[in-house]
């Protein structure tokens, strides 16, 4: 199996759940990098993966989606300086634990994961480690969506039951209903329940818009109003689908062998943990991996 880790999810989870009283010898907070490193070490110890990679976000304001739609994720505050510093340390921790890491100023972590999944899933099953529902669109038969924090694992069929649509329909779902978290507009007046009804009836966004006359006759309350809102929001629907679709052709210089777990570097771990002031508990856990 190939484990593809959405690193930012677990960094932010640690940042908001662990006390910022955890400090390095210089007095700077290290709770986010500690929590992420502990998570990654636990994952490695538990799964002993043959292939694994971590994808990090560096494109919070510079991705191709921001150029396409400047309001994309503009509702999110930028990481504070004390977290920004820890993000770089998390990438160092990934490398020290023997895990290949990737980041891009143009593409998001989702796109990196999508590219690696597309490139190598024919050779090995893919496990996407995240709790971000947007990445569920990448799950094909044989893949696994693993919300590590909750312990939930889903295949493509159980995701369809959980989300109301099949994984390949998720970008179209967000095109219709939007996504307040990422500031994707969607079609004004179309909510998630209506979007699910439309996709179950017509399959995809193109077919929905090719059959607006039939939308008006769906056996749902206010069907004519739904058709009118779709017609008025056509341009926003297409834009939203572009924003919501994971780009799976990022130019990554990475072979399958580059994703092989290399085991921790004793020197790299000792140096990094010394700089961060990490104690014996995490050091011993990482030492067991070697």
Which domain CATH number covers 205? 1.10.150.20
Q: Does residue 10 sit in the same domain as residue 78?
A: yes
C-alpha angle 247-250-256 in degrees, rounded to nearest 5 = 115
**In the predicted model, is pLDDT for residue 215 greater than 80?**
yes
Structural domain total, the chain? 2
Q: Does residue 149 sit in the same domain as residue 256?
A: yes
Q: Does residue 269 sit in the same domain as residue 155?
A: yes
The predicted model gives 132-157 an average pLDDT of: 95
How much is the pLDDT for 59? 66
DSSP count for the chain of H helices, then E strands: 14, 6
In angstroms, how far is the first alpha carbon of the chain from the final one? 20
Indicate the DSSP class of residue 216.
Answer: T
How much is the pLDDT for 265? 85
Q: Does residue 10 sit in the same domain as residue 151?
A: yes
| Residue 79 domain boundaries | 2-165+246-289
> Which CATH number covers residue 70?
3.40.50.1010
| Per-residue pLDDT tens over the stretch 123-139 | 999 999 999 999 999 99
Q: Does residue 79 sit in the same domain as residue 194?
A: no
**In the predicted model, is pLDDT for residue 32 greater than 90?**
yes
Question: How far is it, in rounded angstroms, from Cα 47 to Cα 51?
Answer: 11
Q: Does residue 143 sit in the same domain as residue 89?
A: yes
Q: Does residue 11 sit in the same domain as residue 85?
A: yes
Q: Does residue 240 sit in the same domain as residue 253?
A: no
How much is the pLDDT for 216? 85
How much is the pLDDT for 68? 92
* Greater model confidence, 60 or 200: 200
Give the predicted TM-score (pTM) of the model: 0.93
Looking at the chain, the whole-number percentage of residues with pLDDT higher than 70 is 100
* Greater model confidence, 74 or 205: 205
Question: How far is it, in rounded angstroms, from Cα 241 to Cα 174?
Answer: 7
Q: Does residue 215 sit in the same domain as residue 177?
A: yes
170: tokens are 């998720």
| Per-residue pLDDT tens over the stretch 12-23 | 999 999 998 999
Q: Does residue 12 sit in the same domain as residue 64?
A: yes
Q: Does residue 181 sit in the same domain as residue 124?
A: no
| Per-residue pLDDT tens over the stretch 49-81 | 999 999 999 867 778 999 999 988 888 877 788
**In the predicted model, is pLDDT for residue 273 greater than 80?**
yes
Q: Does residue 52 sit in the same domain as residue 129?
A: yes
For 249, the 3-state DSSP assignment is coil
């Amino acid at each position: 199996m190939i484990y593809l880790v959405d690193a930012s999810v677990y960094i932010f989870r640690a940042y908001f759940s662990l006390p910022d009283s955890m400090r390095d010898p210089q007095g700077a907070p290290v709770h986010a990098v500690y929590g992420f490193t502990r998570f990654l070490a636990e994952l490695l110890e538990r799964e002993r993966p043959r292939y694994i990679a971590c994808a990090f976000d560096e494109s919070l304001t510079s991705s191709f989606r921001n150029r396409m739609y400047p309001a994309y994720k503009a509702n999110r505050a930028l990481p504070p300086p004390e977290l920004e510093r820890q993000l770089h340390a998390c990438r160092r921790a990934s490398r020290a634990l023997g895990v290949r890491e990737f980041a891009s100023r143009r593409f998001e972590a989702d796109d990196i994961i999508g590219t690696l999944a597309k490139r190598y899933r024919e050779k090995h099953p893919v496990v996407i480690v995240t709790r971000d529902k947007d990445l569920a669109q990448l799950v094909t038969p044989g893949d696994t969506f693993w919300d590590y924090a909750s312990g939930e694992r889903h295949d493509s069929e159980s995701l369809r039951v959980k989300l109301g649509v099949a994984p390949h329909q998720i970008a179209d779902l967000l095109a219709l209903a939007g996504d307040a978290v990422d500031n994707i507009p969607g079609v004004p007046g179309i909510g998630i329940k209506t979007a699910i009804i439309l996709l179950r009836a017509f399959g995809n966004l193109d077919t929905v818009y090719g059959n607006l006359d039939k939308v008006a006759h769906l056996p749902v309350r206010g069907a004519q109003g739904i058709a009118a809102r779709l017609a008025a929001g056509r341009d926003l629907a297409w834009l939203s689908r572009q924003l919501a679709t994971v780009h799976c052709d990022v130019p990554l210089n990475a072979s399958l062998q580059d994703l092989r777990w290399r085991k921790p570097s004793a020197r790299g771990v000792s140096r990094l943990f010394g700089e961060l002031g990490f104690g014996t508990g995490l050091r011993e856990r990482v030492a067991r991996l070697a």
